[in-house]
A and B are shown apart, each in its own frame.
Chain A
Amino acid sequence: MSFLGVFLELLQDRKAFLAEIHDKVGLKTKISALLMGSFLCFGVYGAIIGAFSSPQQALASAIKLPALYLLTLVVCLPALYIFNVLFGSVKSIAQHFTYVLSTASVIALLLCGFAPVTLFFLITISPDKDYSFFLLLNVAIFTLTGIFGVSFLYQAMRPDALETDINVKLRTKILRLWLALYGFVGSQLGWTLRPFFGSPSESFEWFRPRSGNFLGGVWTAITNLMMGAG
């Protein structure tokens, strides 16, 4: 199966794709294609949101956005695998990795689907006045795509209803907890790697100094928007 073939199968025939992961068919090819494909899609979207402030920021965000999603996976994967194995799962770490990478790829493809919308607003709004609007628009897009991605992973990895293992319910709970952990780690890593958009009023910087957290940042953007600060 080729690089594009893996992506097409994920989009067109998800059942067969997940069945192949379950049967350990073509895992290395899938991991390679999903890793590279999601890296490219996240990179393109990162470049678009970074272009809001400067070309340098576009380049930085094209590296930082894929890093945000893929590093979060790498950070959280061992916890999922070890807990699942501890409570009766027979899936290998390569299978776990392929499942979570499929999720990242679904999110990446959805973001690419939203790219023209983001590009449209990027061209039509004023960078100085509408920074908070652009920020919140993207928070909404990231939240929406994240929800779809997470629901995909939940459907894909939920223990089979036919399984008779006594730990099936426990493993479902572990998966839910892991998804919360994934969101929490992702938001904090996102906060650590910021800026992704780059404030037009500030000069370009790769990373901002450590301060506050993700939820505080969203709250500041909402209050700025309400008070008309732009």
Chain B
Amino acid sequence: MTPNSNWHTLRLWPREIEQWSGLEVSDRWVGGFLWGVYRAPQRRHWQDWVERLGFRVMTLGLIFMFTLPIGLGAMRLSGSFRIMIGSMSLATLAGSVALERYRVRQARSQRTFLRLLDEIDRYHEVVDGLLVLQQLSATQALALDPDAVHLLQLTRNCLVAGLQTERIVREHQGTLSLLHTVDLAANLSLMNTLDLQSQAQDIAALLAQSIAIAERVQRELAPAIGQVKQYE
């Protein structure tokens, strides 16, 4: 395997996340922007607010358009333009409220998943950082510790296990007997046994961040694992 293909396989791609979690993920949304959950970026810019507002306005416009048959019916019955617009506005309002409630419910049920996505973002930052260091090493004769790639692979496995566990918990509340197949504890103990003496301090810092991600995933999943133990 070439170094580049190695880095490629270290990333968690949206299609893989969808496969493991059963949820579609894009840059900002989980499950599509029309009825999905918004993912707030870690560093917020005013453009994010404008983008979000724009999507809200467009969604309102779309709902308003779909209420046209109601307006047509009201117009034919009453002959009044005001009643037509009033009925369409009311229907749009009702539709928006229903959609917002659905979104809130979705956001609640996907809280753990959203945190896992944040961890995946941080993990990608680590991978990107190490990729830059690797590119630098080609010119400055700095060799990357092979253990680093192995450690990242373990972090990746941990995140994948986290996604799978979260899916099981989300989809099968109450029937969690399959969870014992996900060996998170083994992954973490393996990571702890690794020697993290890297040649460069930057690498060490990035790897420490990688471990922190894995630990946070463990902490996030601790309630779910506790739930499973109750069933066992």
Contacts and interface: CB of A to CB of B under 8 A. Distances in A.
Interface of A: 1-3, 25-33, 35-36, 39-40, 43, 63-64, 66-67, 70-71, 74, 192-193, 206-207, 210
B61 A1 contact: no
B41 interface: no
Contacts of B129: none
A25 B68 contact: no
A1 B14 contact: yes
Given A32-B34, A207-B75, A2 B65 contact: no
Interface residues of B, number: 30
B174 interface: no
Interface of B: 14-15, 18, 24, 26-29, 31-36, 55, 58-59, 61-62, 64-66, 68-69, 71-72, 75-76, 81, 84
Given A2-B26, A36-B58, A40-B58, A28 B68 contact: no
A27 B32 CA distance: 8
B33 A71 contact: no
Contacts of A26: 14-15, 18, 24
Nearest to A205: B81
Contacts, number: 76
Chain A contact residues: helix, strand, loop or mixed: helix
Given A28-B31, A63-B68, A206 B84 contact: yes
A35 B65 contact: no
Contacts of B33: 3, 29, 32-33, 36
Contacts of A210: 76
B18 A31 contact: no
A70 B64 CA distance: 13
A39 B58 contact: yes
Given A26-B24, A28-B32, A28-B36, A36 B72 contact: no
B34 A39 contact: no
B14 A31 contact: no
B206 to A, nearest CB: 28
A25 B72 CA distance: 37
B65 A1 contact: no
11 contacts: A25-B18, A27-B24, A30-B32, A32-B34, A36-B58, A36-B59, A63-B68, A67-B68, A192-B72, A206-B84, A207-B76
4 A-B pairs with least C-beta separation: A32-B32, A28-B32, A32-B34, A67-B68
Given A26-B24, A67-B65, A193-B68, A206 B81 contact: yes
